Structures are given as structure tokens and as C-alpha cells.
């Protein structure tokens, strides 16, 4: 049952992610700063940290499916988010084995995950010539605002879902 709830939450976040920029003040939206909401990715990081065990990869599979949905719905290049989300969630799942699952460790993994995700997306989009932003502009105008916005979302989401996700994990383990 919890797997369906996780999928529904991801679907809800997919819709909300598309409306994220309309929720921000116009002064911020029309500035030079570019923020990309990675809300599904942030939620899947929490799933990878608190739901998945060492031998389960549910978050990776969700990353594959919902990365493809993001590609289909929001981007013109098929497979970019799918591959990026899957790869980075897999890496975070591996790093999670070395740290204790708490707020500080989860925050660090979220920072690493968002940095890797957005940088990989930038490299791929630069390679296929969808973006022509320089590295300096990318760092200041896109990566830092994206990291800040997604960490705010992580800080808001973490206390709301952490205990529930851990409970679902125990429920699946005991079933």
C-alpha cells in the first residue's frame, strides 16, 4: 500500500513542480535568477534515505519512472531527467550506507544530490546545445538559487514526511 502512496505523492509533486514558479513573487520570477524545482527528486532522496534498505532500490525505480514523466511533460529532450534522477539517487543510496539517517546527514545528502543533479542536467543541456550559459553564470544565476530553493523545500518537507516514510519502511519490512 505504501508504494502506491509514494507514487501518488510523486504524481502530486510532479503537478506542483510545474506550478512552482507561479507561486513565487513576480519580482523574483522575472529577475536574472533561474530556479529549477526538483521537488520529486527531494522527496525521492528522503525515500532513499529512510524507506530503502541496503538491498532495496525503490527510490531508484521511482526516479526512473518519474524522471521519464518529467521529461515527457516538461522538457523537450527525452531521457535527461530519467537518467540523471536515477543515477544520482543510486549514488545517494550508496552514500547513505556510510552515514546515519538523521537530519544533518539527510541535508548533506540532499545538497550533494541537488548539486549533482543540476550540474549533470546543465552539462547534458550544454552538450546538446540547449543552453549556452557560461559556467560562471550557471553557478551564480542558476545553481546557487536552485540549491537554495530546493533546500528550503527539503527543510519544509523533511519533518512532514520523515516519520511516515520510516513507518512505511518498517511496515514493508514486517509484512
pTM higher than the cut 0.85: yes
What residue has cell string 520523515? Answer: 162
In tens digits, the chain (175 residues) has pLDDT values of 688 999 999 999 999 988 887 787 777 767 888 889 999 999 999 999 999 888 889 999 999 999 999 999 998 889 999 999 999 999 999 999 899 889 999 999 999 999 999 999 999 999 998 888 999 999 999 999 999 999 999 999 999 999 999 888 888 777 6
Task: For residue 167, give every residue at least 6 positions away whose Cβ sits within 8 Å of its Cβ, in sequence order, or none.
Answer: none
- Distance between CA 82 and CA 67 in Å, rounded? 4
Burial tier of 20 (Cβ tally within 10 Å: 0-12, 13-18, 19+): middle
Nearest to 40 by CA among 85, 90, 92: 85
Nearest to 92 by CA among 46, 151, 36: 46
CATH class of domain segment(s) 2-15+35-174: mainly alpha
The confidence score (pLDDT) of residue 80 equals 95
Domain spans of the chain, in order of start: 2-15+35-174
DSSP 74-134: H-SSTTHHHHHHHHHHHHHHHHHTTS-SSHHHHHHHHHHHHHHHHHHHHHHHHHTTS----
What residue has cell string 526538483? Answer: 38
What residue has cell string 546543465? Answer: 122
- Distance between CA 142 and CA 43 in Å, rounded? 21
The confidence score (pLDDT) of residue 169 equals 85
Nearest to 84 by CA among 53, 136, 137, 125: 125
Amino acid at each position: 500500500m505504501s508504494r502506491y502512496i509514494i507514487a501518488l505523492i510523486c504524481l502530486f509533486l510532479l503537478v506542483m513542480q510545474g506550478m512552482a514558479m507561479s507561486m513565487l513573487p513576480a519580482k523574483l520570477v522575472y529577475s536574472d535568477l533561474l530556479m529549477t524545482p526538483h521537488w520529486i527528486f527531494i522527496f525521492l532522496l528522503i525515500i532513499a534515505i529512510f524507506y530503502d534498505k541496503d538491498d532495496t532500490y525503490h527510490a531508484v525505480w521511482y526516479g526512473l519512472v518519474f524522471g521519464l514523466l518529467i521529461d515527457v511533460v516538461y522538457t523537450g529532450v527525452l531521457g535527461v531527467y530519467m537518467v540523471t534522477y536515477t543515477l544520482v539517487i543510486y549514488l545517494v543510496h550508496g552514500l547513505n550506507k556510510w552515514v546515519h539517517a538523521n537530519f544533518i546527514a539527510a541535508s548533506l545528502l540532499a545538497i550533494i544530490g541537488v548539486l549533482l543533479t543540476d550540474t549533470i542536467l546543465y552539462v547534458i543541456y550544454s552538450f546538446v546545445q540547449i543552453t549556452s550559459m557560461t559556467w560562471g553564470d550557471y553557478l551564480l544565476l542558476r545553481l546557487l538559487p536552485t540549491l537554495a530553493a530546493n533546500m528550503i523545500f527539503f527543510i519544509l518537507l523533511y519533518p512532514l514526511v520523515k516519520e511516515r516514510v520510516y513507518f512505511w519502511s518498517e511496515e514493508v519490512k514486517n509484512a
